[in-house]
Amino acid sequence: MPIIRAAGIAGLAAVAATGVLPATKATAAVAPDGAPCGVSTRACVKLSSQQAWLMRDGNVSYGPVPVATGQPSAPTAPGTFKVFWKDLHHRSSLFHNAPMPYSVFFDGDNAFHEDNVRVPSHGCVHLTPDAARIFYNTLHLGDEVQIVP
């Protein structure tokens, strides 16, 4: 059963209904303590180092943690997105009902979720079991996710 929380962002219901949010360029200053993302970011992923962070008020609150992102044929797109759906016990409708526990969707079919961090994804961000639980419990609808090269 999906977890839906009230969000204070106008139009989020329409975004959640479509499941698609356009990527935008970050215009905020980079966080001061080492994460490569803007100060308004709640979840940050750096593709080149295969690391992720959780942030609050421009400071790292958790991480870096190892991740596995998209394989060359299905890369994880860089950009700035918003969390639009969460599902604790999600199963993939695209990949043979594969389990995707602790799913936090931020870009169409792409989500943070628990999976092997040594196996590239089809665009999602794989997290270790502990990290997946923490990301799931920390991120809320409307939170900013930034994926950087």
Question: Domain residues of the chain, as ranges?
Answer: 38-148
* pLDDT for the residue 33: 61
Gap between the Cα atoms of 70 and 47, Å rounded:
9
Cβ neighbourhood burial of 147 (10 Å; 0-12, 13-18, 19+):
buried
The model's pTM: 0.78
* pLDDT for the residue 118: 97
> Could you say which residues of the chain have pLDDT below 70?
1-33
Mean pLDDT rounded to a whole number for the chain: 83
What CATH number is given for 38-148 in this structure? 2.40.440.10
Please state, in angstroms and as integers, the Cα–Cα distance from residue 33 to each residue in 16, 26, 56, 112, following that order: 32, 17, 11, 23
Amino acid at 73: S
Gap between the Cα atoms of 11 and 68, Å rounded:
31
